[in-house]
Structure 1
Protein backbone atom coordinates (compact mmCIF):
# COMPACT_ATOMS: atom_id res chain seq x y z
CA UNK A 1 0.00 0.00 0.00
CA UNK A 2 1.33 3.44 -0.95
CA UNK A 3 0.06 6.93 -0.38
CA UNK A 4 0.42 10.48 0.87
CA UNK A 5 -0.31 11.54 4.44
CA UNK A 6 -1.59 15.10 4.78
CA UNK A 7 -0.70 16.39 8.25
CA UNK A 8 -3.03 19.38 8.57
CA UNK A 9 -2.50 22.44 10.74
CA UNK A 10 -0.31 22.01 13.81
CA UNK A 11 -0.63 18.22 13.87
CA UNK A 12 2.46 16.81 15.60
CA UNK A 13 3.23 13.21 16.56
CA UNK A 14 6.26 10.91 16.32
CA UNK A 15 3.91 8.39 14.68
CA UNK A 16 3.38 10.66 11.66
CA UNK A 17 6.52 9.92 9.64
CA UNK A 18 7.52 8.79 6.18
CA UNK A 19 7.67 5.03 5.76
CA UNK A 20 5.86 1.89 4.63
CA UNK A 21 5.21 3.45 1.23
CA UNK A 22 3.71 6.66 2.62
CA UNK A 23 5.19 10.15 2.49
CA UNK A 24 4.11 12.94 4.83
CA UNK A 25 3.20 16.37 3.50
CA UNK A 26 2.50 19.14 5.98
CA UNK A 27 -0.25 21.53 4.95
CA UNK A 28 -2.22 24.30 6.61
CA UNK A 29 -5.46 23.98 8.53
CA UNK A 30 -8.38 23.44 6.12
CA UNK A 31 -6.00 23.30 3.13
CA UNK A 32 -7.23 24.76 -0.14
CA UNK A 33 -6.65 24.56 -3.86
CA UNK A 34 -3.05 25.81 -3.86
CA UNK A 35 -1.90 23.10 -1.45
CA UNK A 36 -4.13 20.14 -2.25
CA UNK A 37 -4.57 20.21 -6.03
CA UNK A 38 -0.86 19.74 -6.91
CA UNK A 39 -0.73 16.74 -4.55
CA UNK A 40 -3.81 15.23 -6.17
CA UNK A 41 -2.26 15.71 -9.60
CA UNK A 42 0.76 13.62 -8.51
CA UNK A 43 -1.19 11.07 -6.46
CA UNK A 44 -1.86 8.55 -9.20
CA UNK A 45 -3.49 5.41 -7.78
CA UNK A 46 -2.10 5.95 -4.28
CA UNK A 47 -4.37 6.60 -1.32
CA UNK A 48 -4.67 9.87 0.56
CA UNK A 49 -4.60 9.95 4.36
CA UNK A 50 -5.86 13.10 6.11
CA UNK A 51 -4.61 13.69 9.65
CA UNK A 52 -6.52 16.57 11.21
CA UNK A 53 -9.97 17.80 12.14
CA UNK A 54 -13.34 17.15 10.53
CA UNK A 55 -12.93 20.59 8.95
CA UNK A 56 -9.64 19.50 7.39
CA UNK A 57 -11.26 16.40 5.91
CA UNK A 58 -14.08 18.61 4.64
CA UNK A 59 -11.57 20.86 2.84
CA UNK A 60 -9.83 17.90 1.19
CA UNK A 61 -13.14 16.32 0.14
CA UNK A 62 -14.09 19.62 -1.48
CA UNK A 63 -10.89 19.57 -3.56
CA UNK A 64 -11.60 15.98 -4.61
CA UNK A 65 -15.03 17.14 -5.74
CA UNK A 66 -13.68 20.16 -7.59
CA UNK A 67 -10.97 18.13 -9.38
CA UNK A 68 -13.40 15.29 -10.18
CA UNK A 69 -11.33 12.70 -8.29
CA UNK A 70 -13.99 11.41 -5.88
CA UNK A 71 -14.47 8.10 -7.67
CA UNK A 72 -10.73 7.47 -7.98
CA UNK A 73 -9.10 8.41 -4.68
CA UNK A 74 -9.33 6.31 -1.52
CA UNK A 75 -9.30 8.55 1.57
CA UNK A 76 -8.17 7.50 5.03
CA UNK A 77 -9.01 9.77 7.95
CA UNK A 78 -7.08 10.12 11.21
CA UNK A 79 -9.04 12.42 13.55
CA UNK A 80 -6.98 14.44 16.00
CA UNK A 81 -10.00 15.10 18.23
CA UNK A 82 -11.71 12.38 20.29
CA UNK A 83 -14.94 14.30 19.67
CA UNK A 84 -14.77 13.92 15.88
CA UNK A 85 -18.28 13.66 14.47
CA UNK A 86 -16.95 11.88 11.37
CA UNK A 87 -15.31 9.22 13.54
CA UNK A 88 -18.51 8.74 15.53
CA UNK A 89 -20.65 8.59 12.40
CA UNK A 90 -18.54 5.98 10.58
CA UNK A 91 -17.11 4.03 13.51
CA UNK A 92 -13.51 5.17 13.08
CA UNK A 93 -10.95 4.92 15.90
CA UNK A 94 -9.80 8.13 17.57
CA UNK A 95 -6.62 6.61 19.00
CA UNK A 96 -3.87 7.99 16.76
CA UNK A 97 -1.96 4.74 16.30
CA UNK A 98 -5.03 2.63 15.53
CA UNK A 99 -6.45 5.32 13.27
CA UNK A 100 -3.21 5.54 11.27
CA UNK A 101 -3.07 1.77 10.84
CA UNK A 102 -6.65 1.68 9.61
CA UNK A 103 -6.22 4.67 7.29
CA UNK A 104 -3.14 3.15 5.68
CA UNK A 105 -4.23 -0.47 5.32
CA UNK A 106 -8.02 -0.66 5.65
CA UNK A 107 -10.64 -1.23 3.00
CA UNK A 108 -12.64 1.66 1.58
CA UNK A 109 -16.42 1.99 1.57
CA UNK A 110 -18.45 4.42 -0.49
CA UNK A 111 -20.16 6.83 1.90
CA UNK A 112 -22.52 9.70 1.03
CA UNK A 113 -20.94 13.07 0.34
CA UNK A 114 -23.34 15.89 1.15
CA UNK A 115 -23.17 19.25 -0.61
CA UNK A 116 -24.69 22.64 0.16
CA UNK A 117 -26.00 25.37 -2.12
CA UNK A 118 -23.13 27.79 -1.48
CA UNK A 119 -20.39 25.58 -2.91
CA UNK A 120 -19.38 23.58 0.16
CA UNK A 121 -19.57 19.97 1.31
CA UNK A 122 -20.44 18.13 4.51
CA UNK A 123 -18.65 14.99 5.70
CA UNK A 124 -19.76 14.89 9.34
CA UNK A 125 -22.12 17.22 11.19
CA UNK A 126 -23.94 20.30 9.93
CA UNK A 127 -26.05 22.41 12.25
CA UNK A 128 -28.19 25.53 12.48
CA UNK A 129 -29.72 27.12 15.49
CA UNK A 130 -31.57 28.42 17.18
CA UNK A 131 -33.80 28.73 14.14
CA UNK A 132 -37.32 29.72 13.14
CA UNK A 133 -38.63 28.81 9.72
CA UNK A 134 -39.93 26.10 7.42
CA UNK A 135 -37.81 23.09 6.52
CA UNK A 136 -38.33 20.15 4.17
CA UNK A 137 -36.57 16.80 3.91
CA UNK A 138 -37.49 15.81 0.37
CA UNK A 139 -41.31 16.26 0.39
CA UNK A 140 -41.73 15.96 4.17
CA UNK A 141 -42.18 19.06 6.33
CA UNK A 142 -39.73 18.61 9.21
CA UNK A 143 -39.97 22.12 10.66
CA UNK A 144 -42.66 24.77 10.77
CA UNK A 145 -41.88 27.32 13.44
CA UNK A 146 -39.04 27.43 15.99
CA UNK A 147 -36.41 24.85 16.89
CA UNK A 148 -33.49 24.95 19.28
CA UNK A 149 -31.24 23.25 16.77
CA UNK A 150 -31.22 21.49 13.41
CA UNK A 151 -28.62 18.82 12.68
CA UNK A 152 -27.79 17.14 9.38
CA UNK A 153 -25.36 14.27 8.76
CA UNK A 154 -24.68 11.85 5.94
CA UNK A 155 -26.81 8.73 6.42
CA UNK A 156 -24.65 5.96 7.94
CA UNK A 157 -27.32 3.31 7.33
CA UNK A 158 -27.31 3.24 3.53
CA UNK A 159 -30.41 5.37 3.06
CA UNK A 160 -31.15 8.04 0.48
CA UNK A 161 -28.28 10.24 1.57
CA UNK A 162 -28.73 12.28 4.74
CA UNK A 163 -30.33 12.37 8.18
CA UNK A 164 -32.11 15.44 9.56
CA UNK A 165 -32.66 15.89 13.30
CA UNK A 166 -34.88 18.68 14.61
CA UNK A 167 -34.35 19.45 18.30
CA UNK A 168 -37.08 21.33 20.16
CA UNK A 169 -36.75 22.18 23.83
CA UNK A 170 -39.79 21.63 26.05
CA UNK A 171 -40.56 22.38 29.68
CA UNK A 172 -39.81 18.79 30.65
CA UNK A 173 -36.81 18.19 28.40
CA UNK A 174 -36.45 18.17 24.66
CA UNK A 175 -38.01 16.45 21.67
CA UNK A 176 -35.91 15.25 18.74
CA UNK A 177 -37.50 14.30 15.43
CA UNK A 178 -35.40 12.33 12.92
CA UNK A 179 -36.07 12.13 9.18
CA UNK A 180 -34.04 10.63 6.34
CA UNK A 181 -33.98 11.65 2.70
CA UNK A 182 -31.87 12.89 -0.17
CA UNK A 183 -32.11 16.65 0.43
CA UNK A 184 -32.93 19.17 3.15
CA UNK A 185 -34.12 22.71 2.39
CA UNK A 186 -34.74 25.50 4.88
CA UNK A 187 -36.16 29.01 4.68
CA UNK A 188 -35.84 30.89 7.96
CA UNK A 189 -35.17 34.01 9.94
CA UNK A 190 -31.39 34.50 9.44
CA UNK A 191 -29.58 31.81 11.42
CA UNK A 192 -26.00 30.72 12.01
CA UNK A 193 -24.81 27.69 10.03
CA UNK A 194 -21.91 25.40 10.91
CA UNK A 195 -20.45 22.63 8.73
CA UNK A 196 -17.90 20.20 10.17
CA UNK A 197 -16.93 22.63 12.90
CA UNK A 198 -16.56 25.61 10.56
CA UNK A 199 -19.02 28.50 10.91
CA UNK A 200 -20.42 30.16 7.81
CA UNK A 201 -19.27 33.81 7.78
CA UNK A 202 -22.76 35.30 7.98
CA UNK A 203 -26.28 34.33 9.08
CA UNK A 204 -28.33 32.71 6.32
CA UNK A 205 -32.06 32.93 5.55
CA UNK A 206 -31.96 29.98 3.13
CA UNK A 207 -29.91 26.80 3.24
CA UNK A 208 -29.84 23.47 1.43
CA UNK A 209 -27.92 20.26 2.01
CA UNK A 210 -28.24 17.43 -0.50
CA UNK A 211 -26.52 14.19 -1.45
CA UNK A 212 -23.98 14.48 -4.22
CA UNK A 213 -24.24 12.10 -7.18
CA UNK A 214 -20.83 10.56 -6.34
CA UNK A 215 -19.78 9.15 -2.98
CA UNK A 216 -16.61 9.61 -0.94
CA UNK A 217 -14.36 6.52 -0.85
CA UNK A 218 -13.64 6.48 2.88
CA UNK A 219 -11.51 3.83 4.61
CA UNK A 220 -13.61 2.14 7.29
CA UNK A 221 -12.67 -1.55 7.59
CA UNK A 222 -9.51 -3.60 8.14
CA UNK A 223 -8.24 -5.98 5.50
Structure 2
Protein backbone atom coordinates (compact mmCIF):
# COMPACT_ATOMS: atom_id res chain seq x y z
CA UNK A 1 0.00 0.00 0.00
CA UNK A 2 2.81 2.45 0.88
CA UNK A 3 4.62 1.55 -2.35
CA UNK A 4 1.58 2.17 -4.54
CA UNK A 5 0.93 5.48 -2.78
CA UNK A 6 4.62 6.41 -3.25
CA UNK A 7 4.96 7.04 0.51
CA UNK A 8 7.63 4.48 1.44
CA UNK A 9 10.20 7.21 2.18
CA UNK A 10 7.71 9.34 4.15
CA UNK A 11 6.10 6.85 6.54
CA UNK A 12 8.54 5.20 8.99
CA UNK A 13 8.17 1.43 9.32
CA UNK A 14 8.94 -0.28 12.63
CA UNK A 15 9.40 -4.02 12.91
CA UNK A 16 9.87 -6.42 15.80
CA UNK A 17 11.58 -9.69 14.84
CA UNK A 18 9.99 -13.03 15.64
CA UNK A 19 12.08 -15.64 17.44
CA UNK A 20 13.13 -17.56 14.33
CA UNK A 21 16.70 -17.52 13.02
CA UNK A 22 15.91 -15.62 9.79
CA UNK A 23 14.07 -12.80 11.62
CA UNK A 24 16.86 -12.39 14.16
CA UNK A 25 19.46 -12.29 11.37
CA UNK A 26 17.49 -9.66 9.44
CA UNK A 27 17.09 -7.54 12.60
CA UNK A 28 20.84 -7.72 13.15
CA UNK A 29 21.61 -6.84 9.52
CA UNK A 30 19.43 -3.74 9.40
CA UNK A 31 20.17 -2.65 12.96
CA UNK A 32 16.73 -2.89 14.55
CA UNK A 33 16.76 -1.22 17.95
CA UNK A 34 19.77 0.99 17.25
CA UNK A 35 20.21 4.54 16.08
CA UNK A 36 18.03 7.06 14.35
CA UNK A 37 15.42 6.48 11.63
CA UNK A 38 17.14 5.94 8.29
CA UNK A 39 16.28 5.39 4.64
CA UNK A 40 17.12 2.01 3.12
CA UNK A 41 16.96 0.84 -0.47
CA UNK A 42 14.15 -1.43 -1.56
CA UNK A 43 15.29 -4.68 -3.20
CA UNK A 44 12.59 -5.75 -5.61
CA UNK A 45 12.03 -8.48 -8.18
CA UNK A 46 10.35 -8.48 -11.56
CA UNK A 47 7.44 -10.56 -10.21
CA UNK A 48 6.24 -7.88 -7.79
CA UNK A 49 8.03 -9.06 -4.63
CA UNK A 50 10.41 -7.48 -2.16
CA UNK A 51 13.55 -9.11 -0.75
CA UNK A 52 14.49 -8.19 2.81
CA UNK A 53 17.06 -10.75 3.89
CA UNK A 54 17.88 -13.72 1.67
CA UNK A 55 16.89 -14.97 -1.76
CA UNK A 56 17.85 -18.24 -3.40
CA UNK A 57 17.72 -19.69 -6.91
CA UNK A 58 17.99 -23.49 -7.07
CA UNK A 59 16.88 -26.45 -9.16
CA UNK A 60 13.10 -26.89 -9.25
CA UNK A 61 11.79 -29.84 -7.31
CA UNK A 62 9.99 -30.80 -4.14
CA UNK A 63 11.98 -28.42 -1.96
CA UNK A 64 14.26 -31.02 -0.40
CA UNK A 65 17.87 -30.01 -0.67
CA UNK A 66 20.31 -32.34 -2.25
CA UNK A 67 23.97 -31.61 -2.82
CA UNK A 68 23.74 -33.32 -6.19
CA UNK A 69 20.91 -31.20 -7.64
CA UNK A 70 22.13 -29.01 -10.48
CA UNK A 71 20.54 -26.22 -12.48
CA UNK A 72 21.46 -24.96 -15.94
CA UNK A 73 21.40 -21.19 -16.11
CA UNK A 74 23.05 -18.00 -17.23
CA UNK A 75 23.25 -15.10 -14.77
CA UNK A 76 24.52 -11.53 -14.98
CA UNK A 77 25.20 -9.33 -11.97
CA UNK A 78 25.28 -5.85 -13.45
CA UNK A 79 27.74 -6.22 -16.37
CA UNK A 80 29.51 -9.32 -14.97
CA UNK A 81 28.54 -12.79 -16.16
CA UNK A 82 28.54 -14.71 -12.85
CA UNK A 83 27.25 -18.05 -14.15
CA UNK A 84 26.97 -19.82 -17.49
CA UNK A 85 26.24 -23.54 -17.31
CA UNK A 86 25.33 -25.89 -14.48
CA UNK A 87 25.40 -24.65 -10.90
CA UNK A 88 24.06 -25.76 -7.53
CA UNK A 89 22.47 -22.48 -6.42
CA UNK A 90 22.66 -18.69 -6.27
CA UNK A 91 22.19 -16.79 -3.00
CA UNK A 92 21.21 -13.10 -2.98
CA UNK A 93 21.33 -10.74 0.00
CA UNK A 94 20.69 -7.00 0.25
CA UNK A 95 23.78 -5.16 1.48
CA UNK A 96 22.37 -2.75 4.08
CA UNK A 97 25.77 -1.12 4.65
CA UNK A 98 26.00 0.05 1.03
CA UNK A 99 23.61 2.12 -1.07
CA UNK A 100 21.54 0.31 -3.71
CA UNK A 101 23.60 -2.88 -3.51
CA UNK A 102 22.93 -6.60 -3.43
CA UNK A 103 25.48 -9.31 -2.81
CA UNK A 104 25.40 -12.45 -4.94
CA UNK A 105 27.04 -15.80 -4.16
CA UNK A 106 27.17 -18.46 -6.88
CA UNK A 107 27.72 -22.04 -5.74
CA UNK A 108 29.04 -23.98 -8.73
CA UNK A 109 29.66 -27.24 -6.89
CA UNK A 110 28.88 -28.18 -3.30
CA UNK A 111 31.73 -27.82 -0.81
CA UNK A 112 33.85 -25.88 -3.33
CA UNK A 113 34.85 -22.19 -3.31
CA UNK A 114 32.04 -19.81 -4.31
CA UNK A 115 31.95 -16.77 -6.57
CA UNK A 116 30.88 -13.59 -4.77
CA UNK A 117 30.00 -10.28 -6.39
CA UNK A 118 28.40 -7.03 -5.35
CA UNK A 119 26.25 -4.78 -7.51
CA UNK A 120 22.79 -3.40 -8.18
CA UNK A 121 20.93 -6.05 -10.21
CA UNK A 122 20.94 -9.80 -10.89
CA UNK A 123 19.26 -11.29 -13.96
CA UNK A 124 18.94 -14.99 -14.63
CA UNK A 125 17.65 -17.16 -17.47
CA UNK A 126 17.48 -20.84 -16.63
CA UNK A 127 15.98 -24.28 -16.78
CA UNK A 128 12.96 -24.47 -14.46
CA UNK A 129 14.19 -22.94 -11.20
CA UNK A 130 12.82 -22.73 -7.68
CA UNK A 131 12.93 -19.24 -6.15
CA UNK A 132 12.87 -18.73 -2.39
CA UNK A 133 12.36 -15.17 -1.05
CA UNK A 134 13.00 -14.71 2.66
CA UNK A 135 12.19 -18.37 3.33
CA UNK A 136 9.00 -18.43 1.24
CA UNK A 137 9.09 -20.42 -2.02
CA UNK A 138 7.63 -18.79 -5.13
CA UNK A 139 4.48 -20.78 -6.09
CA UNK A 140 5.77 -22.09 -9.42
CA UNK A 141 9.07 -22.79 -11.20
CA UNK A 142 10.42 -19.90 -13.28
CA UNK A 143 12.71 -19.58 -16.30
CA UNK A 144 13.64 -15.92 -15.80
CA UNK A 145 14.09 -13.81 -12.69
CA UNK A 146 15.52 -10.41 -11.78
CA UNK A 147 16.38 -8.94 -8.38
CA UNK A 148 17.41 -5.30 -8.25
CA UNK A 149 18.07 -2.59 -5.71
CA UNK A 150 15.56 0.04 -6.81
CA UNK A 151 17.36 3.39 -6.70
CA UNK A 152 14.05 5.25 -7.18
CA UNK A 153 12.40 3.95 -4.01
CA UNK A 154 13.49 4.09 -0.37
CA UNK A 155 11.81 2.79 2.74
CA UNK A 156 12.21 4.49 6.09
CA UNK A 157 13.17 2.24 9.01
CA UNK A 158 12.26 3.32 12.53
CA UNK A 159 14.70 1.21 14.60
Category of TM-score, reference length = shorter chain: 0.7 to 0.9
Indicate the residue corresponding to 1:27 in structure 2. Answer: none
Taking the aligned partners of 2:85 and 2:37, their CA distance within structure 1 comes to 41
Change over 3 Å in CA distance of 1:90–1:181 after alignment to 2: same
Give the count of matched residue pairs.
Answer: 145
- Secondary structure at 1:86's aligned position in 2? helix
Task: Report the Cα distance in structure 1 between the residues aligned to 2:112 and 2:3, rounded to whole angstroms.
Answer: 37
- Show CA shifts across 1:103-130 (max 9, x none): 8xx5222222111111111111111113
Structure 1 residue aligned with 2:146: 208
- Partner residue of 2:127? 189
Q: Does 1:69 align with 2:19?
A: no
Alignment TM-score, normalising by the size of structure 2: 0.82
Deviation at 1:184, TM superposition (A): 0.5
Higher RCO, 1 vs 2 (CA within 8 Å, ≥6 residues apart): 2
The residue that corresponds to 1:218 in the other structure is 157
Mapped to 2, the partners of 1:91 and 1:176 lie a distance apart of: 27
Of Structure 1 and Structure 2, the greater helix share is in 1
- 2:49 alignment partner in structure 1: 120
Taking the TM superposition and a 5 Å limit, the aligned residue runs for 1:1-223 are 63-84=1-22, 85-92=25-32, 102=33, 107-130=36-59, 131-170=71-110, 173-212=111-150, 213-220=152-159
Work out whether residues 184 and 210 of structure 1, in 8 Å CA contact, stay in contact via their aligned partners in 2. yes
- Report runs of 4+ in structure 1 exceeding 4 Å deviation: none
Compared CA separation, residues 127 and 73, structure 1 to 2 (3 A): same
Rate the CA distance shift 1:65–1:187 in 2: closer, same or farther, 3 A. Answer: same
Unaligned runs of 5+ in 1: 1-62, 93-101
Equivalent residues of 2:41, 2:99 under 8 A apart: no
CA contact (8 A) 1:132 1:189 kept: yes
SS in structure 2 of the partner of residue 112 of structure 1: strand
RMSD: 1.9
Counterparts in 2 of 1:149 and 1:75: CA distance versus 1, 3 Å: same
Give the number of the structure whose alpha-carbon radius of gyration is greater.
1
